[in-house]
């Protein structure tokens, strides 16, 4: 492990500071104290360091010039954003937080949630009115206890009609009421004459502390006398690796011959869990390279490989030894989900069904304000931390995931007209996989009706667009 230039300006420069701000403990902290941490951390590990002139090792002639530079930014967030390489197209995923304690809780899978995840769409014929659809009801959550189901529609919250501009404020509340509605397709295949019809039904929800088991559904489906294993896996959370292995024990015991991995709502997580899942799907490649990480020019010594394995800490994996797997995706399938597809595709036939994936398999890391950038001996004066991209992930053939995402073999976009029930053989994406198995060719699929969800930041989940690697040292805490 190396920390190049991390002590480049070890001399304390806070005396030059002219600006300050309040941290979450209401203590006045000089801006340059945290800005110093931001610059040094990014200088030490940022993947795109060579593309940012202000991060060059020889950027400053002396500490006064460095102090003036730090003081030119009033907030750590402002400095951090100035160091990001092409935010809109290349690095869409590095971020900074002012509360690393909450961040750590999210990484452990502990969040405050009512158990609902949504898609939002413009009402047909409108560019401002919005309706929402429940795309996922998490198991053992507040919402599941109230009987809410995937596919239910609402057009107002707390009796306030939804618009693109107010949905964030309304649905990020701790408590709110969904005003339910129905979708009327007017009996025609065209979307333009569809409408959203309000109902008198409503349901009130209050968020609670929630720890999601990402193994959402594991079931076996008979397909012409052969067993298909269907797994809805919503996050690569290493705390639930044993549950994942148990799901494959069920598949193995039932002689599963076909496998559908539903990753459509999986935004990422542990690369170790990804390598375990890849090993459970296969089993015949034990010890071979699953994926590789490549760091920036200063940190090439930290490049590493991750191999297929046959155990979890000495406990044997339940592997299926398959040569073909179906993977269901949406544009929210990201990071470790994409790494899994990209890495497996070098060894077996991966049939991707759904939408283009997000387009992100760079690794990030939690960087703390400490002498080693680790959690130990962290600066007690504030709780800022960063999650910058530090490495690229590639498969055994050095192929990476394009920024435009992975292209589905069978493109099929979820539509509010027919979300279907997860695990039901008539649910469109699963039905497409079953049809492909039965026909040994490409099935006839519905014509895309033009509905794509509106981008939103409602109910962000743990591991949103990231992957991580367990460990104590800096480059063993990588997040994907």
323-362 b/e (C-beta count within 10 Å ≥ 16 → b):
eebbbbbbbbbbbbbbbbbbbbbbbeebbbbbbbbbbbbb
CATH architecture for the domain at 112-211: Roll (2.30)
pLDDT for the residue numbered 189: 85
pLDDT for the residue numbered 361: 82
What's the CA gap between 332 and 454, in Å, rounded?
12
Protein fold of 215-448+460-479:
2-enoyl-CoA Hydratase; Chain A, domain 1 (3.90.226)
Quote the tokens at residue 244.
Answer: 């994942």
Quote the tokens at residue 110.
Answer: 């502990």
- How many C-beta atoms surround the C-beta of residue 8 within 10 A? 16
pLDDT for the residue numbered 16: 36
Token pair 């400095």: residue: 79
What's the CA gap between 229 and 247, in Å, rounded?
9
Residue 411: CA count within 13 A, CB half-sphere: 10
Angle between helices 63-71 and 31-45 (to 10 degrees): 110
**pLDDT tens, residue by residue, 417-475:** 889 999 999 999 999 999 999 985 565 666 566 678 887 656 544 444 555 555 545 55
What's the CA gap between 224 and 95, in Å, rounded?
48
Phi, psi torsion values for 98, nearest 5 degrees: -105, 10
Give residues with Cβ within 8 angstroms of 374, minimum separation 6.
368, 472, 473, 474, 477
Give domain limits for the chain: 14-90, 112-211, 215-448+460-479
Q: Number of helices and strands (H, E) in the chain?
A: 10, 28
Quote the tokens at residue 424.
Answer: 């039901």
Model confidence, pTM: 0.85
Q: Which residues of the chain have pLDDT under 70?
A: 1-31, 108-110, 440-450, 456-480
What's the CA gap between 480 and 212, in Å, rounded?
18
55-84 b/e (C-beta count within 10 Å ≥ 16 → b):
beeeebeeeeebbebbbebebbbebbeebb
DSSP code string of 383-440:
--EEE-EEEEEE-TT-----TT-PPPSEE----TT----TT-TTSHHHHHHHHHHHHT
């Amino acid at each position: 492990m190396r920390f190049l230039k991390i002590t480049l300006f070890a001399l304390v420069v806070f005396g030059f500071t002219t600006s300050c701000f309040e941290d979450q403990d209401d203590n006045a902290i000089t801006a340059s104290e945290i800005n110093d941490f931001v610059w040094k951390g990014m200088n030490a590990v940022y993947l795109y360091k060579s593309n940012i002139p202000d991060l060059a090792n020889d950027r400053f002639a002396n500490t006064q010039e460095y102090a003036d530079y730090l003081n030119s930014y009033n907030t750590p967030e402002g400095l951090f954003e100035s160091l990001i390489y092409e935010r809109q197209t290349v690095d869409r995923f590095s971020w900074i937080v002012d509360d690393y304690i909450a961040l750590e809780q999210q990484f452990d899978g502990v969040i405050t949630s009512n158990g609902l995840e949504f898609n939002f769409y413009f009402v047909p014929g409108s560019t401002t009115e919005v309706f929402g659809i429940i795309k996922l009801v998490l198991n053992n959550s507040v919402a599941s206890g109230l009987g809410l189901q995937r596919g239910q529609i609402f057009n107002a919250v707390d009796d306030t009609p939804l618009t693109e501009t107010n949905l964030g404020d309304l649905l990020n509340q701790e408590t709110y009421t969904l005003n339910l509605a129905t979708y009327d397709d007017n009996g025609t295949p065209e979307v333009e004459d569809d409408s959203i019809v309000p109902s008198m039904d409503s349901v009130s929800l209050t968020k609670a502390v929630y720890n999601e088991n990402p193994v959402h559904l594991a079931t076996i489906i008979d397909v012409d006398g052969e067993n298909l294993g269907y797994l809805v896996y919503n996050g690569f959370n290493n705390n639930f690796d044993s549950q994942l292995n148990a799901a494959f024990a069920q598949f193995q015991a039932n002689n599963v011959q076909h496998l559908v991995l539903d990753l459509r709502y999986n935004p990422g997580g542990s690369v170790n869990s990804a390598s375990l899942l890849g090993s459970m799907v296969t089993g015949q490649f034990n010890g071979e390279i699953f994926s590789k990480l490549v760091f920036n020019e200063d940190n090439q010594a930290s490049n590493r490989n991750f191999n297929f394995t046959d155990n979890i800490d000495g406990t044997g994996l339940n592997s299926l030894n398959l040569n073909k797997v179906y993977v269901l995706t949406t544009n929210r399938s990201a990071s470790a989900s994409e790494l899994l597809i990209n890495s497996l595709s070098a060894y077996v036939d991966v049939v991707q069904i759904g939408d283009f994936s997000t387009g992100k398999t760079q690794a990030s890391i939690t960087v703390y304000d400490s002498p080693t950038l680790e959690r130990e001996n962290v600066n007690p004066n504030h709780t800022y931390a960063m999650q910058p991209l530090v490495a690229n992930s590639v498969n055994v053939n050095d192929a990476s995931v394009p920024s435009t995402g992975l292209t589905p073999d069978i493109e099929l976009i979820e539509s509010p007209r027919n979300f279907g029930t997860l695990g039901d053989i008539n649910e469109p994406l699963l039905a497409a996989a079953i049809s492909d198995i039965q026909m040994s060719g490409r099935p006839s699929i519905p014509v895309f009706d033009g509905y794509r969800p509106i981008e939103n930041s409602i109910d962000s989940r743990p591991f949103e667009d990231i992957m991580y690697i367990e460990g104590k040292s800096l480059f063993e805490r990588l997040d994907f």
